[in-house]
Amino acid sequence: MISKSLRQNRFQFQKTFRLFSTLQSPTEQDFQELVKRAPSSLVVNHWEELEKYNKDWTGNYSGKSRIVCRPNSTKEVSSILEYCNERKIGVVPQAGNTGVVGGSIPIGDEVILSIEKLNQIHSFDGINGIVQCDAGVVLQTLQEKVAAWDALVPIDLGAKGTCMIGGNIATNAGGQYYYRFGSIHSNIIGLEVVLADGTILDLMSTNRKDNTGYDLKHLFVGSEGTLGVVTKVALNCPRLPSSRNVAFLACDSFQSVCETLAKAKEHLGEVLAAFEFMDKAVLDQVATEKRIPLLNDNGENYDFYVLVETQGSNEDHDMQKLELFLESTMESSQAVDGILAQDMKQVLDIWEIRESCNPIIKSKGYNYKYDISLPLDCYYDIANVMRDRLSKFPTVEVVNWGHVIDGNLHLNIIDKGEFKVREEVKELIEPFVFEYTISKKGSISAEHGLGQCKNEYLGKYAKDAATVAVMKNLKQSFDPNGILNPSKFLPSL
């Protein structure tokens, strides 16, 4: 009889075998040729030099790639892909490597194609609000540059200091301003993409309205590098708001969080930009390193907190709306306490609490991370369900935060126990968390992607067979040799 752990190991072997039964491992000769095509490439001499490219931000996924191609131009990207396609060598496109589902990490020894050298900001059209830049530009760098032109990048993420625009496009990043601006998909005007065979697609038109033929650029958004490698982007950049305000509120139940959200939509209307949620469990962890400004009468964190941001063009008008909202929520006891930022420093300090959730809990133990979306009427139920399922493990904690305004929950489970019990813990989490989410008409991936973590669940829980078949046909059409990000995104069978 085969043990469950052995069966799981066999499945991993089969997955790797499928990958390398059709693709070739790169040879020393291949390394030499690829370095000629991209002189800035790194070939393994000292493993430490390549380790950061072979491990993801969470540390949960690792590969064995011996070469990182770092092209300096679209032409070099094209040359690399043309060669790898001819040789049937797997290629893993990689941006800032801040993902949590192993999407930019090799499964074996595929070639890593890093876009970090493609990092130029080319132009900004101030009248139309369109920036053109390379895919390897770091999000925060682009934010700061565009802000100097009195505009903003319409997405903002906690990983902005490291993540790159190309990775944001590959995963269709949303972030905290999704309610106001939509995902990056909603703001892309044009793309330049290199296909698996090296063909360069120039889709960089900056015409906002263009109905000539299929809108190909959007096929690559959210495709996680499986259809092509994005090298340039033209991105919509709205004007910076002249008025920006943030309130931090405490609630004593999740029902109160939902009622506060309803009040925010009613009173704040067009100036409502973000509505973020955090529970006591995660802020108890954050409080070990950051001061939480609102505490209850016992000096403890409240059960729930929300961060509300407004953006507008008239400070007096916006502040009046915000004060009416705060007065209404306090009078009806939807919020039991709150503070209003008095200047930009306090705005940033409050946001730092929210953005500290991810890095701080990462330091507290092994993380099981689930990026899901659920209807609001059952949004928080899964947290309590998971606490019940894992109650026999005293070293396991369920902590939560998310973009509640768009139904996106970041369900995180911290395991501070011994390694030997992790398999037992995970068996209680997966696939239950996915089955539960689908049963509530939710999504198993709201914004972090599928990668090598959730791809096998795509056909089981997320999409029907006909939809998955169309996706596979697209993959076959764009990448017939299957070299781009192999064994990711789509299910293997």
DSSP codes of every residue in 240-308: PPSEEEEEEEEESSHHHHHHHHHHHHHHHGGGEEEEEEEEHHHHHHHTTTS--S---TTSS--SEEEEE
Are residues 396 and 295 both part of a single domain? no
Domain range holding 440? 365-473
Q: Which two three-digit tokens encode residue 1?
A: 């009889």
Are residues 304 and 319 both part of a single domain? yes
Are residues 41 and 84 both part of a single domain? yes
Cα 223 to Cα 123: distance, rounded to the nearest angstrom: 26
**Is the link from the previous residue into 431 a cis peptide, with omega within 30 of 0?**
yes
Are residues 154 and 167 both part of a single domain? yes
Are residues 51 and 142 both part of a single domain? no
Are residues 212 and 258 both part of a single domain? no
Q: What is the CATH number of the domain that holds 413?
A: 3.30.70.2740
Asked if residue 9 has pLDDT above 50, the reply is no
Q: What is the CATH number of the domain that holds 83?
A: 3.30.43.10
Strands 91-94 and 111-114: parallel
- 4 within some domain: no
Where does a domain end: 236, 264, 285?
236
pTM higher than the cut 0.85: yes
Report the Cα 362 to chain-centroid distance in Å.
16
Q: What is the pLDDT of residue 460?
A: 85
How many domains is the chain partitioned into structurally? Answer: 4
Are residues 97 and 156 both part of a single domain? no
Where does a domain end: 335, 357, 379?
357
Q: What is the pLDDT of residue 15?
A: 44
User: What length is written for the chain?
Assistant: 493
- 428 within some domain: yes
pLDDT digits (tens, 9 = 90+) for 196-249: 999 999 999 899 998 899 999 999 999 999 999 999 999 999 999 999 999 999
Asked if residue 49 has pLDDT above 90, the reply is no
Give phi and psi for 363, each to the nearest 5: -85, -5
Average pLDDT over residues 115-142: 98
Judged by average pLDDT, the poorest of 10-14, 64-68, 479-483 is 10-14
Q: Which has the closest alpha carbon to 404: 286, 266, 262?
A: 262
- 113 within some domain: yes
Are residues 158 and 227 both part of a single domain? yes
Are residues 224 and 125 both part of a single domain? yes
Cα 218 to Cα 190: distance, rounded to the nearest angstrom: 9
Q: What is the pLDDT of residue 45?
A: 64
- 151 within some domain: yes
pLDDT digits (tens, 9 = 90+) for 270-289: 999 999 999 999 999 999 99
Cα 107 to Cα 288: distance, rounded to the nearest angstrom: 36
Are residues 90 and 193 both part of a single domain? no
CA dihedral sign, ordered 58, 63, 66, 68: negative
Q: What is the pLDDT of residue 57?
A: 83
- 6 within some domain: no
Q: What is the pLDDT of residue 267?
A: 96
- 339 within some domain: yes
Where does a domain end: 96, 117, 138?
117
CA dihedral sign, ordered 369, 372, 377, 382: negative
pLDDT digits (tens, 9 = 90+) for 392-434: 999 999 999 999 999 999 999 999 988 878 889 999 999 999 9
Judged by average pLDDT, the poorest of 86-90, 106-110, 207-211, 274-278 is 207-211
- 481 within some domain: no
Alpha helices, DSSP H only, in 287-430?
A: 315-331, 344-355, 357-362, 381-389, 422-429
CA dihedral sign, ordered 183, 186, 188, 194: positive
Q: What is the pLDDT of residue 11?
A: 37
The residues, ordered by sequence, that sit 6+ positions from 208 with a Cβ below 8 Å of its Cβ are 128, 189
Higher-pLDDT residue of 149 and 8 is 149
Q: What is the CATH number of the domain that holds 301?
A: 3.30.70.2190
- 133 within some domain: yes
Cα 453 to Cα 51: distance, rounded to the nearest angstrom: 20
Read off the pLDDT band of 126 (50, 70, 90): very high
| Residue 6 C-beta-side C-alpha neighbours within 13 Å | 3
Are residues 125 and 231 both part of a single domain? yes
Are residues 268 and 299 both part of a single domain? yes
